[in-house]
Amino acid sequence: MKRKRIMVIGPSGCGKTTLVNSLNDYKGPLRRTPDMIYGDKTIDVPGAYIENAWMYKHLIAAAQDASKVLILVDQSKPTSIYSPGFAKSFRCPVIGVVTKCDLNIENEDKCIRQLREIGVTEPYFHISFTKETGIDALKRHVFEKCEE
């Protein structure tokens, strides 16, 4: 049986790789690549896969190796890049994550609306690596649910 991983999806620059490194307990330098990276516990999806709708089929195929999908929205610049109902493309649970929640707090409602429009249900996790906010709660939620 294949090991299931947590797939992390989001636009370029939203904090995907930083989150993936944290989920994998990796302390080294950021590793950026135009390809999906299969980590110990995660699948790091480059922003290009979301920013180009023709690549959605590759996301959906790769999600077969995922136990959960984390969809990230960047509060510092909450551009709408996801198609309406996008989360319904996945057969596994989808979790909404608002990254950089310490920046541009006036955008919080816009991020929540965006997650709802793409079909992600609550709870939503608000994280900030600079303020070290919400990361432990997200890890507990993701990994405790995986062990069930």
Distance CA 40, CA 59 (A): 18
Tokens of 53: 């709708």
d(CA 73, CA 78): 6
- The structure tokens listed for 91 are 């057969």
Number of domains in the chain: 1
> Which CATH number covers residue 94?
3.40.50.300
29-70 pLDDT, tens per residue? 876 777 899 888 999 999 889 888 888 889 899 999 899 999
Which domain does 17 fall in, by range?
A: 5-147
Spell out, as residue ranges, where the chain has pLDDT lower than 70.
1-3, 31, 145-148
Q: What is the pLDDT of residue 75?
A: 97
pLDDT at residue number 53: 82
pLDDT at 1: 42
Beta strand pairing call for 124-126 and 94-99 = parallel
If one counts every other C-beta atom within 10 angstroms of the C-beta of residue 143, the result is: 14
